[in-house]
Structure 1
């Protein structure tokens, strides 16, 4: 009887672990929405003032007090339905000092050299959520070392961002999925004329 009870208990524990594993899923749609918002705060802030409006001023909706778009990054990574299914789940952190610092550095780079490098076609988005020098001939020889350093800095921040988002949500195993989600978002929000890699690694122009 004792052996039978042990077998039954073990089976029950395995079943319970299986249920927990099934419930901890990657919220792809919510993650994509959050990634798009983060990317927007980087690229849109670096957008030239006259781009996309044909010289006409368009009315902007009044800003509402409360969370900024970047402050919703981590909040959206866990959907409400998942939280409801797991009573007692702690509140997801809206943002971290690390993601905010990374966002600021990315904005500065795109407002500075990176935006111009993308415009010229020298640099493009890679299929894995990074950036790369696509055509070094478009960069003056005496500036190439500086460009390579800027690209390396950007890629370090991107890797740190994907890791931080996964860790901040308590799921470091999501890092690869977070990276893939952001990779898709960077390419989708790339401006007309910018280059990106397709799934095969070939360079394409938007």
Structure 2
């Protein structure tokens, strides 16, 4: 029964992600989530204390689903530690995030909603800060070129590139996006002064 409840909760949260991406935060209702998840009406209200709880769990689930799998991590660790390997890693990251289009769009909706909901803002701030810290730590352990500042600048740069790709996909071609990722890695890992 516990496993079934966990599976149903995951289906509901995944449904919430789809609703957020399609309808925005205003469209996120328990009824819409029940419908999206294909469960009886009233199910979501049994799993989540309120709408804020659902929003918060949807945000956490997006980050969970964006994490690379073990095969990807193993493949990344087996590569050389030069700028080209770093550019490949970043192109794969952009691809993985872009492939979960609804998750990233839902995350954008959650970020906008967080400007009005302090509890959600606190959860997202903690998650993004932890994610950024983990990225810096992974980078430092990996021996890839660049420093913590380069990691943070790439994080900011690639996030907007992904927003552009998901919301206005015809602005840049796929080849242009790949060249821009490579150029960002090359330029941001060439001895720039580190910020604290």
Common topology (TM > 0.5): no
User: Which structure has the larger Rg?
Assistant: 1
From the two aligned structures, give the one with the greater strand fraction.
1
Q: TM-score, normalising length from structure 2? A: 0.30
Q: Compute the TM-score of the two structures, normalised by the length of structure 1.
A: 0.29
More helix by share: 2
